[in-house]
Chain A
Amino acid sequence: MFDLSNRLLVAHKTIQTTDEITMRFFNLYSDIFITKGYNRILISDLGRNSSKLYPLELYELIAELKSTSIDRVLENYEPESKIIVQEYIDYLLEREYGFITKEDWDRNFSPLSYEYQDYQPISNLFIEVEKLTISETLIQSIANLGIKHLAVFCRSAASLQELISFDNAFENTPLEGMEITSAYTTELTKDSFALLQRQSQRIYHLQFYQCQEIPLLSNTESRFTLDFTKDTLAINSCGKVNVADFNTNMPKVLEAINHNSCLHKKLGIDVAGNIKNCPALPQSFGNIHEMTLEQVLRQGAIQQYWDMTKEEIMVCKDCEFRNVCTDCRAFTERSHTNKLGYDISKPLKCGYDPYSNEWSDWSLNPLKQQAIAYYGFKPLNGKK
């Protein structure tokens, strides 16, 4: 592998002589998507669902190879750089990012459309509840909107019966999967989970907090995964930006290119019934006890952040990870707004600096302390 620094030296351009030899051309596959950061690039292989970091100079080289033959490109470099260019080209071939043709590029390989299309008006709903129950009207709205994924944050401990009923309440709706985070009660034993396994259809992830003793480990044969933590969780535990959560897959990347990867087609309802884009956001667009989700969507205001791509967000717009990142609009550094007053600041819980390419603990960053205090997170050194 290469180090991520730039090593290429461009030769002083001389009058180029056309050789009689057949020119070779490098064709980059259309599903190789390159995101240019301030110092580095991220090459995302959308066909193979993986991303890798490379030096910025590879970006320039790939750009050159799109408009010039390999042989001409090589002429532009000093002898020692030529070796590196050749090394890069070999590597691109080895990774199967592209292929070589003679005389011309293979122009029958057409570009990939970056359009993002999705039939559902809403993809995810995130609700915060005091007790694990759901109203008939809300179930009806979930069915009407064709919502496939539901995430639930329950502030009390859900019982086995509540978990089963909650799952079964979505019989004959398009809801395909749900994940539930709940406080833990010791009533939930190994046997309870075995029963839940048989009597539920949609739960694919369960997370329990305030659990002193783990009743069982998640096993791979189970339809749902299980997590237990001793900590007390709250809805503001969300929004962390981590490499582990970066995901290279075509729909997610296309969504990030065209829309806001945090909020597009998402709805949230907080514990008081306020309908929001995300339950952790302050702005409410109506209350579920007075309005339906469909009515709120028709007002057209809750969609305000849906099309805010990372190109608009401070710092993120220079970050090489921006098209595979999760973003977070609920907790930000609160440093910038655009003309319409929308928050275009970097996510607060991101510890990455695209200018230095270093990851650090976001919560210890002195520049973030004001925003951290604003959201009421535990301040630095535990002092108020």
Chain B
Amino acid sequence: MILIISKNNEVTTTAVIKELIAMNKQFIRIHEDEVFDINTIKKRIVLTSHRNQFFLDEVSAVWYRRGAIEFNRMRYQNQSIDRYMFEVQHWLVEYVLKSLEGKKHINKQSNSHVNKLLVLEKAKEVGLDVPGYFLAEDMEDVIVNQTIVKPISGTPIIDDIKEQHNGIMYTSVIEQKSESDFFISFFQDKIEKDFEIRSFYLNKKIYSTAIISQNDEKTRIDHRRYNSEIPNRNVPYKLPAEVEHKIDLLMHSLDLNCGSLDFIKSADKFYFLEINAIGQFLGMSNACNYGLEREIAAYL
């Protein structure tokens, strides 16, 4: 039985599940609004939520997609007992999570949210080209029109920034220096790109897509600023073997077996930008007819 940890209405999860059904593979999908109790039945550990119940030992594979598997914690009147039982429960939960992560899996709950700054350091270590970057609280070292700013956090989305609105931070070129100081921010050399490349990594296999947006000013810096009138052209692409090998080393060093990696091609160089382990990839997959939802379902 395959365990899928995801969120409600997550479209990629649904697409993979359709493939699993076609392959006659059993699965359980769990959501962010589920909280599990850990119990035993005849010496076997059983996990129960309001909508799912399964034995730990019947899980053959785990796909960590998004969200998290959450557990109930008992509280006790006596504070000393409560502290002690907190620890007991901690080890029990850890045992369950580690057991799940020890099974055949695609990504893990514990490390799927990667730290952009650490990833860039690792990328340099494995020999990938990385555009120069620095952290700063002012724009003293910023060269106007040659430096970009982007978020340090994994998601560029600010939920409910005002009533009924979410904010999204796009990667932008600094066109004018700000005089004042600000919260420590991530700056990077702007690379004149030929085009962008999005590579999907799944267990040593790499499926790359060239994202051609150069002809169109609107999408020049960040391809997510999608122009629907003349959409970007997304076509199959094969990175040079040595770049693919370095991707493999990087993913290993981060203990990730699945994720999307962004590159910029500039002349004969491939600049690595970032990894997103839980990003959307079906758009690229469909454009290139890669059938990645099927590849994931087949692996699980």
Contact = CB atoms under 8 A, between A and B. Distances in A.
A30 interface: yes
A30 B212 CA distance: 12
Q: Range of interface residues on chain A?
A: 20 to 34
Contacts of B286: 250
Nearest to B293: A119
Given A109-B210, A146-B21, A115 B237 contact: no
A117 B291 contact: yes
Contact of A110 (B18, B230, B237, B294): B237
A109 B234 CA distance: 11
Contacts of A114: 289
Interface string B281-300: 00000111111001000000
A96 B19 contact: no
Contact of A117 (B235, B238, B294): B294
The secondary-structure label for the interface of chain B is mixed
B233 interface: yes
B231 A119 contact: no
A239 B230 CA distance: 33
Contact of B235 (A30, A115, A119, A146): A30
Contacts of B231: 47-48
Given A96-B215, A108-B240, A31 B291 contact: no
A112 B239 contact: no
Interface residues of B, number: 24
Interface string A252-283: 00100000000000000000000000000000
Given A117-B294, A119-B294, A109 B236 contact: yes
A250 B294 CA distance: 17
A236 interface: no
Contact of B239 (A47, A48, A108, A111): A108
B255 to A, nearest CB: 29
Nearest to A108: B238
Interface string B216-242: 000000000000001101111111100
A109 B288 CA distance: 11
B184 interface: no
A88 B163 CA distance: 53
A120 interface: yes
Contacts of A29: 212, 233, 235
A121 B18 CA distance: 12
Contacts of A110: 236-238
Given A110-B238, A112-B288, A119 B22 contact: yes
Interface of B: 18-19, 21-22, 210, 212, 215, 230-231, 233-240, 286-291, 294
**Ordered nearest first, which 4 A-B pairs have the shortest CB separation?**
A119-B22, A110-B236, A110-B238, A113-B289
